[in-house]
A and B are shown apart, each in its own frame.
Chain A
Amino acid sequence: MVVEEFPNFTTWLLEGGALLTLVYILAFAAIAGLLLGFIVSSFRNGPGEAFYAVSQTVFQAVPDLLGIKWRRVWAISRLAIKENLRLFVVTLAIFVLALAIGGWFLGGGGKYPERSYVAFLFFAAQVLVSIFAVLVSAFSLPNDIVFKTVYTVVTKPVRASEIVLGRLVGFTLLGTVLLAIIGGLSLVFMVRGIEHTHEMPEAITEDQWLPVVDGFTADGRRPFDSRAVFESSVLSTRENDHAHRLAIVRLDDGTFSVVADETAGHTHDVEVLEMDPQTDRPRLVRFGPARGNLRARRPIYAMPRGELPALTLTDEKGSETTGVNVGEVWDYQKYVQGGSQATATFRFSGLSPDKFENQDFINLDLNLAVFRTHMGDIRRRVEAEIELRNVVDVTETETAQRKFVKIPFETEEFKIQTLAIPRKIKNGTISVVGQPDRTQQELDFFDDLAAGGELDLVIRCIDPLQYVGVARASIYFHAGDTSFGWNYFRGFLAVWAQMLSIIALTIALSTFLKGPVVLIGSLGLVVFGYSGRFIAFVAESVLGDDPTQNVWGGGPIEALYRIVTQMNLQHPLPVGMGTNIIQFIDSQILLPGLQSLSYAVPRFEQFNLSNYLAYGYTIDNQVLLINLAVALSFTVGVTVLGYFCFKAREIAAA
């Protein structure tokens, strides 16, 4: 899985300035609310009265917030829930319909069906819940005000804060139940969609078991299992748009077993039902359920160690470098030249036995890229080597024992390649300055190589003039798996956080706008939330100080002009008043405005953590925490704003 950022909650909160931003948001919300109230009241009653009203509101705010009675909040919440039960049912029905239709589009789901399923389900859940959140929140308060039903509440001893908060709680509860049902249904839908088994179309005949000679089968395949002695030329029946091949493998104890290949991200256990007495090879087999999909790997990634970064690269002469780009647009992976001194060093920390499910074999997962500068032997994959070595204290370089082990392997591109490293490694080397190296030493992974939990992993490409590409997340220790269901729940927790933000935002808008305006405004802001990154990019690239870095085409009005007149992006606009007006509106009004708005709502795309689930990784706790913190702080901020806006109405009415 592509991981471009490795955030840390504490660093994000304190050093990244998130806490400070929260304070700013709260202050801004309070001031903006009061200012709005003052302006409106000034128009109606004059500035003197307005000032009095605002001051009163400020002083009342403290007891108003402190004196919140949860009983009254709950009463308003129940009312909010009752009002929207019908919409709840309709949304649920739409989701069920989406599931039914979604099945058509998902089909077999390609090579990794769980990825399509997760992407679709999370997208559907996000969109539906967002719309639901806007719809339930947008009309509630404005309608109460329009139809004057709000008087039945405000005439009671209910505070403005309780009216706002009650709605927030009520709608959130309703949304939470909706999300829980959607999550449960979609999990069942996905598991059922992916669940399957296979059969062999008919008994496997002798000639359909192809012997493996010199590492290849008679039809030119490299066997999928390196232990294979025979591989089937026939495939199983096709289910969910894929089929499996079988192999007879020789196990370490000399016995034989039949295994199925890993296709579509999973494999199956195979039970032999009948052996061919002539050849002693299986004739009839039975496939078990799918195994290996819907998982949640727990990775331990390389981390910075003090001043040293998590990943360091050296070039072909051994000098530190930022890595080679082999000409790809996306420079996520940096490449290491083969047959040279070029390396990539990953620094790991916290490798203790208790973190690993299986302490006898430590799984090292590789997700490497390969780039060939010449064809080479097309039947062989590019070879690389991994060196695991202990971390030596810089003050003891003269005396310390350097312990390391080298593991050569053939790379497998675009798939997770697992190297199972035994805890007791036989062919280790111990090296001390001024002494001959001691080779073939038995080293303990945790005691010798990862002593103190720290370990350096160096990767080299062996084949000359071929390249191996790495990124920080390309190599990690696979400590074990967590439950997929639990991971799924955490994924939906992020969607819930997004829903909470939208509800709070819409309620805040509904405190001072009419229902339809709130609806459009909220939906607009939700769209802004989804495309905030893009809008910020466009604004920055047009307004940026360095014209050479600016993208072609200008701002929204200029873009519209170019589309309508079919003008090339690089062609300058005609000189004249029209161009001046267009550029002025773009650069002075629209783009700065859009830029500011894009920062006013959270980036909703960050609440979609489906990638973790799709690619089978445990959702990073730090990422989840940041998402929840963003949503909660945004909710608090806009709720305070909503409270003051609601109060501003009273001010205006005063």
Chain B
Amino acid sequence: MKFAPSFYRKAGYGLLAAILLLPISSLARPSKVTSDPNQAGASTSGGTISQMRVEHNLSQSSLSSIDPTSEVMKLASLGLHGIAVNLLWNQANEYQEKKAFDKVSATVETLILLQPNFVSVWEFQGHNLAYNISREFDDYQDRYFWVKEGLNFFIKGIDFNKRDHRIYDNLGLHTGIKLGNSDEKRQFRQMFRQDRDYMEEQIGQQLNPELIDKPEAGGFDSWLLSYWWYDKSYHMREKLGVPKRTSDIMYWMKGPAQLRNYAEAISEDFRPSEASRRAWRIAFEAWTDRDPISDRTGYGRREIETSFGTIIRYEDMDRERERMLAISRQMDELAPGVRETLRQQKIAALTEDDRRVMTMPEDQRRFKEMMEMMRINQLITVYEIEVATQVPPEHQAKARNLMRELSDGEYRMKQMENYRSTVNYPYWRDFTAMESTVPGVSARQASYDAIEAARQGILEAYDAEETDENGNVVAVRRDGAIDLMFKSFAFISEAIQAYPELSDGESTMVEDLLQDITQYGSYLSIVGREWPDDFPLQWFIDERVRRYGRTNIKNLMTTEDIMARKRELGLLEDSPPPAPEIKTPDPNNPVQDSAKEAEGQAIQGEGKAAEGGGQATEGAGTATEERAGAAQGEG
């Protein structure tokens, strides 16, 4: 039989097509759920692509709920949904440039149906709605609407991304910062408190609105909502085992930080009370030990994976230091008296000027001397490696082991220190602890009352009438803003005693205090009153001036200023102020005093290291590295 050439050609094409089916089948064969009742739910492995999909949890059902609309959109674009997505992105951008925001919103809704599992799209567009578009509107009520549009957008993304915690993280972030920290936060939070419709219609699908409805917050609180979104994210990580997508340091901080923001917000929006003190206490516990609301591990006890792969816990700092000191003592036992001898030698090698600074009482050192002292401390520090090299030969092996332990420990401590200072861990720990004390909340109460009085223009005490329990009208004396501020400072002074680090350095609290004290001084000037002799935070001002000079506090009165002023007014005898007592070193025994001083320094240094000062640890780290190097050299 003879066939036409076209037949052979067609047969060839058919054969080629059949051959091509083999690799296609091998690659793209879908997995099938078996019908065998004994193996319910089991499925055949399918082609290579199916297997990879299962291996990486990329099947649609494992990524998200199956949304028919989204699937239809993807099918309808006939494999060209990449192009459609590009067009829609361009369109959305163009609409935004032309301020057609309702069209942006509609375009984004369509766009997201084509890319439902691409979290970055949700992140970008949710942020775009809540931030970029909302700020285009002049009316704060419109802005509020668009912020909620952004938040709603994220909420829609939850079902599409069941194995990605970032949607919840973004909800937490945007709910917290946009509603609680923007220029319009006062208006936003006020509207949010009563926004029952929004809570029930939108949030109610994910969270019980009662969780964030608090009498002390006057209704729904945005910071608490933010906290709950983060808590949902933590639940995903801890209970559902979804993979982590962000670094631990910030991730685990966010939830507890919202409780602190909540405490601060209700302390500013309403007159502080026992409820706000409790809120501060909860914030403290969640920040450090254990979150009493969700019963999760507190931030300070969390295992944080560093970028170097080590695991640290902020609250392990003290324990780690204790361990290091113990090792150091063991080293001393191997080489008795060596450390002290070396120290004395180093002190003896100091210049005359250095020794003068060293022997100066600490409370008389000014900023320059303090800087000098830091340098001197480095000069007289005895490094472990110096001790180790003088250990007798029979104990050298043990000394090397100790050095290794010290080196590892210091490395971990350095990381702990860096991480703690990155998130300002010790500051917020002390701050929340201080705010949750009775004097702390009393200070806030007095401050709140002072602001209210100042807002009404009442600076000085005044007589008023009020009705007592029996219905009688009685005359009462009420404080003005000046006296209320004075009370507030007295409470702060009391509260802050237990947390000296809070009044040190350049923290937010220090800035706020200086601002409040300056305000207090200006009120005194307005009413023509003198700076009080018994100003409760006088020690704070004096200390600041002594340490840092008059930068930022030019208008405040130090004790010296007060004395000078009194002398000027003839209220004091015209005698010069007593000269500061400067200890001169005993030429016969320079070591004795300086050793005492150095001991004090060392204790303070430890304290600093514990509270987050970087310098001491930095130096220790360097010393450790040197020691480690020397030990290796010896080995």
Contacts of A332 in B (CB 8 A): 98
Contact for B197 among A107, A110, A243, CB less than 8 A: A243
Contacts of B184 in A (CB 8 A): 378
Contacts of A222 in B (CB 8 A): 139, 141
Q: A238 with B197: in contact, given A110-B102, A222-B141, A330-B97 (CB under 8 Å)?
A: yes
Q: Which of B106, B186, B197 has the most A CB atoms < 10 Å from its CB?
A: B106
In the bound complex, CA of A330 to CA of B187 (Å): 30
In the bound complex, CA of A220 to CA of B195 (Å): 11
Contacts of B100 in A (CB 8 A): 2
Within 8 A of B (CB), among A232-272: 233-235, 238, 243
In the bound complex, do residue B142 and residue A105 qualify as a contact, i.e. CB atoms below 8 Å apart? no
Interface size class of A (residues with CB under 8 A): 35 or more
Within 8 A of B (CB), among A80-139: 101, 104-105, 107, 109-112, 115-116, 119
In the bound complex, do residue A414 and residue B142 qualify as a contact, i.e. CB atoms below 8 Å apart? yes
Q: Which residue of B has the minimal Cβ distance to A220?
A: B190
Q: 1/0 per residue B99-120: CB within 8 Å of A? A: 1111101100110010000000
In the bound complex, CA of A235 to CA of B191 (Å): 13
In the bound complex, CA of A10 to CA of B571 (Å): 95
A442 at the interface (CB under 8 A from B): no
Q: A378 with B72: in contact, given A234-B197, A372-B138 (CB under 8 Å)?
A: no
Contacts of A234 in B (CB 8 A): 196-197
Contacts of A105 in B (CB 8 A): 69, 73, 109-110, 113
In the bound complex, CA of A220 to CA of B136 (Å): 21
Task: Report A238 CB to chain B, min CB distance, Å.
Answer: 6
Q: A116 with B106: in contact, given A222-B141, A329-B97, A381-B139 (CB under 8 Å)?
A: yes
Contacts of A116 in B (CB 8 A): 106
Contacts of A233 in B (CB 8 A): 194, 196
Q: 1/0 per residue B561-590: CB within 8 Å of A? A: 000000000000000000000000000000
Q: 1/0 per residue B164-186: CB within 8 Å of A? A: 00000000000000000001101
A540 at the interface (CB under 8 A from B): no
In the bound complex, do residue A220 and residue B187 qualify as a contact, i.e. CB atoms below 8 Å apart? yes
A315 at the interface (CB under 8 A from B): no
In the bound complex, CA of A234 to CA of B197 (Å): 7
In the bound complex, do residue B190 and residue A375 qualify as a contact, i.e. CB atoms below 8 Å apart? no
Q: Which residue of A has the minimal Cβ distance to B103?
A: A115
In the bound complex, do residue B138 and residue A220 qualify as a contact, i.e. CB atoms below 8 Å apart? no
In the bound complex, do residue B97 and residue A413 qualify as a contact, i.e. CB atoms below 8 Å apart? no
Q: A379 with B140: in contact, given A243-B197, A329-B97 (CB under 8 Å)?
A: yes
A481 at the interface (CB under 8 A from B): no
A385 at the interface (CB under 8 A from B): no
Task: Report A443 CB to chain B, min CB distance, Å.
Answer: 31
A5 at the interface (CB under 8 A from B): no
Q: A378 with B99: in contact, given A238-B201, A412-B139, A413-B139 (CB under 8 Å)?
A: no
Within 8 A of B (CB), among A312-364: 328-330, 332
In the bound complex, do residue A379 and residue B187 qualify as a contact, i.e. CB atoms below 8 Å apart? yes
Contact for B141 among A221, A330, A369, A411, CB less than 8 A: A221
B398 at the interface (CB under 8 A from A): no
Contact for A111 among B68, B97, B102, B197, CB less than 8 A: B102
Q: Which residue of B has the minimal Cβ distance to A468?
A: B138
A303 at the interface (CB under 8 A from B): no
Contact for B98 among A2, A101, A104, A381, CB less than 8 A: A2
In the bound complex, do residue A414 and residue B105 qualify as a contact, i.e. CB atoms below 8 Å apart? no
Q: 1/0 per residue A409-430: CB within 8 Å of B? A: 0011110000000000000000
Task: Report B552 CB to chain A, min CB distance, Å.
Answer: 25
Task: Count A-B pairs with CB separation below 8 Å.
Answer: 76
Q: A110 with B183: in contact, given A219-B193, A332-B98 (CB under 8 Å)?
A: no
In the bound complex, do residue B142 and residue A413 qualify as a contact, i.e. CB atoms below 8 Å apart? yes
Q: Which residue of A has the minimal Cβ distance to B67?
A: A104
A19 at the interface (CB under 8 A from B): no
Interface size class of B (residues with CB under 8 A): 20 to 34
Interface of B is mostly: helix
In the bound complex, CA of A369 to CA of B98 (Å): 12
Contact for B190 among A101, A119, A219, A330, CB less than 8 A: A219
A302 at the interface (CB under 8 A from B): no
Task: Report A368 CB to chain B, min CB distance, Å.
Answer: 9
In the bound complex, do residue A413 and residue B69 qualify as a contact, i.e. CB atoms below 8 Å apart? no
B137 at the interface (CB under 8 A from A): yes
In the bound complex, do residue A381 and residue B103 qualify as a contact, i.e. CB atoms below 8 Å apart? no
In the bound complex, CA of A116 to CA of B103 (Å): 8
Contacts of B102 in A (CB 8 A): 110-112, 115
In the bound complex, CA of A379 to CA of B188 (Å): 11
Contacts of B187 in A (CB 8 A): 220, 378-379
Contact for A235 among B73, B109, B136, B197, CB less than 8 A: B197
Task: Report B186 CB to chain A, min CB distance, Å.
Answer: 8
Q: Which of B73, B102, B105 has the most A CB atoms < 10 Å from its CB?
A: B102
In the bound complex, do residue A414 and residue B137 qualify as a contact, i.e. CB atoms below 8 Å apart? yes
Contacts of B99 in A (CB 8 A): 330, 369, 414
Q: Which of B73, B99, B137, B142 has the most A CB atoms < 10 Å from its CB?
A: B99
Within 8 A of A (CB), among B130-164: 136-142
Q: Which residue of A has the minimal Cβ distance to B139?
A: A381
A382 at the interface (CB under 8 A from B): yes
In the bound complex, do residue A104 and residue B69 qualify as a contact, i.e. CB atoms below 8 Å apart? yes
Q: Which residue of A has the minimal Cβ distance to B197?
A: A235
Q: A414 with B101: in contact, given A105-B69, A220-B187, A381-B139 (CB under 8 Å)?
A: yes
In the bound complex, CA of A222 to CA of B184 (Å): 14
In the bound complex, do residue B138 and residue A382 qualify as a contact, i.e. CB atoms below 8 Å apart? yes
Task: Report B242 CB to chain A, min CB distance, Å.
Answer: 29
In the bound complex, CA of A379 to CA of B190 (Å): 12
Q: Which residue of B has the minimal Cβ distance to A333?
A: B99
Q: 1/0 per residue A434-457: CB within 8 Å of B? A: 000000000000000000000000
A370 at the interface (CB under 8 A from B): yes
In the bound complex, do residue B138 and residue A370 qualify as a contact, i.e. CB atoms below 8 Å apart? yes
Task: Report A122 CB to chain B, min CB distance, Å.
Answer: 14
Contact for A220 among B109, B183, B191, CB less than 8 A: B191
Contacts of A221 in B (CB 8 A): 141, 191
In the bound complex, do residue A411 and residue B98 qualify as a contact, i.e. CB atoms below 8 Å apart? no
Task: Report B159 CB to chain A, min CB distance, Å.
Answer: 15
In the bound complex, do residue A110 and residue B110 qualify as a contact, i.e. CB atoms below 8 Å apart? no
Q: Which of B105, B110, B194 has the most A CB atoms < 10 Å from its CB?
A: B194
Contacts of A109 in B (CB 8 A): 106
In the bound complex, CA of A378 to CA of B182 (Å): 12
Task: Report B95 CB to chain A, min CB distance, Å.
Answer: 10
Contacts of A381 in B (CB 8 A): 138-139
In the bound complex, do residue A330 and residue B101 qualify as a contact, i.e. CB atoms below 8 Å apart? no
Q: Which residue of A has the minimal Cβ distance to B110?
A: A105
Contacts of B109 in A (CB 8 A): 105, 107, 110
Task: Report B10 CB to chain A, min CB distance, Å.
Answer: 21
Contacts of A414 in B (CB 8 A): 99, 101, 136-137, 142
Q: Which residue of B has the minimal Cβ distance to A415?
A: B142
Contacts of B73 in A (CB 8 A): 105
In the bound complex, CA of A222 to CA of B191 (Å): 11
Task: Report B67 CB to chain A, min CB distance, Å.
Answer: 10
In the bound complex, CA of A413 to CA of B142 (Å): 9
In the bound complex, do residue B105 and residue A110 qualify as a contact, i.e. CB atoms below 8 Å apart? yes
In the bound complex, CA of A410 to CA of B403 (Å): 75
In the bound complex, CA of A412 to CA of B68 (Å): 40
Task: Report A11 CB to chain B, min CB distance, Å.
Answer: 26
Additional pairs, 14, CB under 8 Å, beyond known A105-B69, A219-B190: A104-B68, A105-B73, A109-B106, A110-B102, A110-B105, A110-B106, A115-B103, A116-B106, A219-B191, A221-B141, A329-B97, A381-B138, A413-B137, A414-B137
27 interchain pairs, CB-CB under 8 A: A104-B68, A104-B72, A105-B69, A105-B73, A105-B109, A105-B110, A105-B113, A111-B102, A220-B186, A220-B187, A222-B139, A233-B196, A238-B197, A330-B98, A332-B98, A378-B140, A379-B140, A381-B138, A381-B139, A382-B138, A411-B138, A413-B137, A413-B142, A414-B101, A414-B136, A414-B137, A414-B142
Top 8 nearest A-B pairs by Cβ distance? A220-B190, A219-B194, A370-B138, A235-B197, A413-B138, A104-B69, A330-B97, A329-B97
